[in-house]
Structure 1
Amino acid sequence: MGAVAGKTVFITGGARGVGAEAARRLHGKGARLVLTDLDEAPLVELAGLLGNDRVHTVVADVRDLGAMAKAAEQAVDRFGGIDVVVANAGIATYGSILQVDPEAFRTLLEVSVMGVFHTVRATIPSVIDRRGYVLIVSSLAAYAAVPGLAPYNAAKAAVEQFANALRLEVGHRGVDVGSAHMSWIDTPLVREAKSDVPTFAEMLTRLPYPMNKTTSVEACGKAFVAGIEGRRRQVNCPGWVGVLRWLKPLLSTPFGERPVVKFVPELLPKMDAEVAALGRFMSSRTEGLEER
C-alpha cells in the first residue's frame, strides 16, 4: 500500500476522465474516496466497479457552496475526516471572445473558478485537522494562452494563483497545496471539442511541438497520484509542461506568440463559423447536465 492507504480523498469531477482515473488508482492503493459530480450515471457505475465499502458518491454542483458543504459533511460522517482534496471539476467553451456566448463564459468561470473556491471552502477545515493536502487542477493553459479558449485560459490561470495564495495561508497549519498542469488529454472534454469543432482539432496540430501532442488519461492519473503521495507543489503531465512554467514570461512576448499568431487569421474565423453553425458554445453533454 502507498502513502494514501487509509486516507480519505475528496475528488470533484470524479465520474469521468482524469478524476475517475485518479480515483481508480487511489482506490487500488487503499484510499477511501468521496467522489462528486453532476453526472450521476457514470458516478454510480464507477462506485460499483470499485466497490462501495471505501467509496462514497455525491451528486453535487460545485457552483453551489451549500451542496459542497453537505458533501464535505457526508465525507466526515462516513470516513471521519478528509485528508486530500482534488478540485478537478471543470468545463470548456467554444469560440473566440467575439463569438462566445457571455452566459457560457460566465458558466465556465462559475464551474472552474468558483467551483474550486467552494470545494476548498467546504473541505479545508477537515483538511487542516488532518494536516492534509489540496491539489487544484489547473492546466498548461495557465502558462500559455490558446486562441478560441479565452474563458478556459482565464479560469486555469486564476486557479493556479488561487492555489498559490491558499498555500501561503494554510502552510503553517500543516497543509500542503499543489496545482496540476496538463497538456491536451484524451478526455471526453477534448474529444467532444474535436468532434464539435473540427478546426479546434486542426489548431491543436498547428501548435508548436510538443504543445501539439495529446497525452493519455492513464498518464495523467498516474501523475496525480504521485503528486498526492509526494504532496507536491506542481504536478506536470507530461513532465515537459513544467519547463513551460519557467518560460511563461517569454510565451506572452511577440517572439513567444509568433508560432500561434501565424495561423490565427486562417483558423479562428473558421472556428467561429463552425461554432455558429453548431448553435451552442459547449458540448452537448455539458449542456445536458446544465438543463437538469
Structure 2
Amino acid sequence: MLCGKVVMITGAARGIGASMARLLHQRGARLVLVDIDEHGVRALAGELGDDVVVFADDVNDFDTMQAAAETAVTRFGAIDVVVANAGVEHWAPVLTVEPEAFRRVIETNLIGVFNTVRAALPSIIAHRGYVLVVASTSSYTALPGMAAYGASKAGVEQFANVLRIEVAHHGVGVGSAHMSLVDTPMLRETRSSSPEFTTLLAALPRPARRTVTADKCAARLVDAIDKRKRRVDVPRWVAAARWLKPALSSPLGDRALSRQVARIEALSPGG
C-alpha cells in the first residue's frame, strides 16, 4: 500500500524520523524530509537516493512549512501521508525552568505539529490520506521536570482527536503515536544534561524505564501508517497507561515520584 505514496516526515534527520524514512523508502514510498538540521537531513537523503526531496526548515515557521508542502506537491503531485514527528524535550522543574526553554518545547512540540499538519492538509484531504501525530506516553503520565513536554504531548493527542473528527467525512485517517523511552539522540542528550532526569527514570516501574530502539519504534509507526491506525502504542503496554490515567494521576500514583523529587531537591545546591 505504501509503494508510490508521498510521505512527509518532520524531524527526519535522526532518531525515529530517520528510521521511518529508511523503512518507508524500502517499501517504495516517495519522501519529503524536513529537519532544521540541514547537514543531517541532506546526508540521509544522500544515503536513500531517488524519490527524496529535502527541506532544511524549522517547523515553528508556518510560512516555510507551507512553502515546503507546496513545493513537494509540485514535485510529486501530492502529499498522501504526513508524519508530524519533530520534537524537543528539556528537563527542569517549573520553579527553575527558563521561560524561553519552556516556550521552545511547547512551540516545537505543539505549534510545530499544527504548522506541519496544516501545511500538508489540503493535499491530504484531496487524496484521502493519513495524518500521524507523534505524541508520547507523557500524554497519559506525569514525570516531574517535564511539565512543558507533558503539556505539549497531551496537547498533540487532543489535537489529533479533534482533527480526526473534523476530517473523517473527507476519508482522511488520523492517528496518534504514543511511545515510552526510545533510544534516540534526544533521550541520550536529556539524560546527559540532567542527572535528575535519570534518577527519576530509575524510580519508574521496570517496563517504563526500559528503552526501545528507534528502528523497532519506527517499524511500529510505519505499520500504523500502512493500516491507517487510530492509535499506536510503543511498547504495547503503553496502551494500559491510557486506561489507567485516572489512577496514575491520583495521590497514590503521585506518591513515589513526589518522594524522589524531595530527595533530589535535598541533594541539589541550596536544597
TM-score relative to the length of structure 1: 0.90
Q: In structure 2, what is the equivalent of residue 238 of structure 1?
A: 235
* 8 A contact 1:62–1:119 mirrored in 2: yes
Percent identical among aligned pairs is 52
What does residue range 27-176 of structure 1 map to in structure 2 within 5 Å?
Answer: 27-51=25-49, 53-176=50-173
**Letter aligned with residue 75 of structure 2:** R
Q: In structure 1, what is the equivalent of residue 24 of structure 2?
A: 26
Please say which of residues 194-203 and 179-188 is displaced more in the overlay. 194-203
Q: In structure 1, what is the equivalent of residue 188 of structure 2?
A: 191
Deviations along 1:80-133, whole A, 9 cap, x unmatched? 000000000111112100010011111111111110111111100000011000
Question: Following TM superposition, by how much is the alpha carbon of 1:27 offset from its aligned partner in structure 2, in angstroms?
Answer: 0.5
Question: CA separation of 1:40/1:269 partners in 2, compared to 1, >3 Å: closer, same or farther?
Answer: farther
* 8 A contact 2:200–2:257 mirrored in 1: no
Q: In structure 2, what is the equivalent of residue 278 of structure 1?
A: none
Deviations along 1:210-268, whole A, 9 cap, x unmatched? 11111111111111101100100111111110111111111111122223223120125
**Letter aligned with residue 218 of structure 2:** G
**Letter aligned with residue 23 of structure 2:** R
Deviations along 1:30-80, whole A, 9 cap, x unmatched? 0000000000111011001100x2110001111111000001011101110
**Letter aligned with residue 104 of structure 2:** T
RMSD between superposed Cα atoms in Å: 1.3
Flag structure 2 segments of 5+ consecutive residues without an equivalent.
Answer: none
Q: In structure 1, what is the equivalent of residue 176 of structure 2?
A: 179
* Number of equivalenced pairs: 270
Please say which of residues 158-167 and 204-213 is displaced more in the overlay. 204-213
Question: CA separation of 1:268/1:69 partners in 2, compared to 1, >3 Å: closer, same or farther?
Answer: farther
Please say which of residues 196-205 and 131-140 is displaced more in the overlay. 196-205
**Letter aligned with residue 194 of structure 1:** R
Q: In structure 2, what is the equivalent of residue 264 of structure 1?
A: 261
Q: In structure 2, what is the equivalent of residue 17 of structure 1?
A: 15
Question: Following TM superposition, by how much is the alpha carbon of 1:269 offset from its aligned partner in structure 2, in angstroms?
Answer: 5.7
CA–CA distance in structure 2, aligned partners of residues 134 and 155 of structure 1: 18
CA–CA distance in structure 2, aligned partners of residues 269 and 79 of structure 1: 57
Please say which of residues 86-95 and 204-213 is displaced more in the overlay. 204-213
CA–CA distance in structure 1, aligned partners of residues 209 and 257 of structure 2: 11
**Letter aligned with residue 28 of structure 1:** Q
SS at match of 1:211: helix
SS at match of 1:210: helix
Q: Structure 1 segments of 4 or more deviating over 3 A?
A: none
